[in-house]
Amino acid sequence: MNVFMYLKNKTGGIELVALPLIEFLPGITRQDILDLECIW
């Protein structure tokens, strides 16, 4: 299961937060979402 949270931090910047890989296995879907976040 992949869990991502898109939120504003205290300074008004936006962040994409994901659970650490220690608890979940890496996967194509996770990497695709992280790659797309860099484009935004």
CB 33 within 8 Å of CB 2: yes
Distances 19 to 30, 38 between C-alpha atoms, Å: 10, 17
Q: pLDDT tens-digit profile of 1-40?
A: 667 888 899 999 988 887 776 656 567 777 887 787 777 6
Amino acid identity, position 31:
Q
Position 11 scores a pLDDT of 94
Count H helices and E strands in the chain, helices first.
Answer: 1, 2
Its domain, for residue 28, covers: 4-39
- Number of independent structural domains in the chain: 1
